[in-house]
Amino acid sequence: MSLPRREIIAASLQANGVIALVDTLDDAITCGNAYAPEHMCLAVADAWSLVPKIRNAGGIFVGENSPEAMGDYTAGPSHVMPTMGTARFSSPTNVNDFQKIISPLCCQR
């Protein structure tokens, strides 16, 4: 490989990268849900049919005409995304993060 930043890229991939070879799209979705990516790009035919199967992702980029850069800079969703697999239990920053919630409790006899 003759990339000018080859060593930096190789170190990053070794520390953080994952390449998963799967047999089916369902296997890919299972793998993706387990990894819980910050950004999930569905660059496949009939991408919308897969969206309901995604349970863990900060953002889903649906179809070949929905590049990640669109979400980062122009589409409007928050760019404060759950990283390092935290999409399993967390969401991108949204209006709910700025609301205060009080949970009333009562035990009556």
CATH number at residue 30: 3.40.50.1980
Which parts of 1-109 fold into alpha helices (H)? 6-16, 25-35, 68-73
Total structural domains within the chain: 1
Residue 1 resides in a domain: no
In a domain, 61, yes or no: yes
Burial class (CB in 10 A: 0-12, 13-18, 19+), 57: buried
Q: Is 85 within a domain?
A: yes
Q: Report yes or no on 16 lying in a domain.
A: yes
- Residue 35 is assigned to a structural domain of this protein: yes
Task: Indicate whether this model's pTM tops 0.85.
Answer: no
Average pLDDT over residues 4-32: 90
Q: Is residue 67 part of a domain?
A: yes
Mean pLDDT in residue range 8-30: 90
Decide which of 72 and 61 is more confident: 61
Residue 104 lies in a domain: no
Q: Is residue 1 over pLDDT 70?
A: no
C-alpha distance from residue 24 to each of 3, 20, 27, 81 (Å)? 32, 12, 5, 27
Q: What are the b/e assignments for 74-91, b being 16+ CB within 10 Å?
A: eeeeeeebbeeeebeeee
Query: 94: Cβ–Cβ under 8 A, 6 or more apart, which residues?
Result: 78
64-95 residue pLDDT tens: 888 887 777 777 666 778 788 888 888 887 78
Domain span holding position 32: 6-98
Give the residue with greater pLDDT, 29 vs 87: 29
Tell me: pLDDT of 30 over 90: yes
Per the prediction, the chain carries an average pLDDT of 86
91/81 Cα distance (integer angstroms): 7
User: Is residue 71 a part of any domain in this protein?
Assistant: yes
Which sequence positions are flagged as catalytic?
Answer: 38-39
- The answer to which of 4-8, 55-59, 103-107 has the lowest mean pLDDT is 103-107
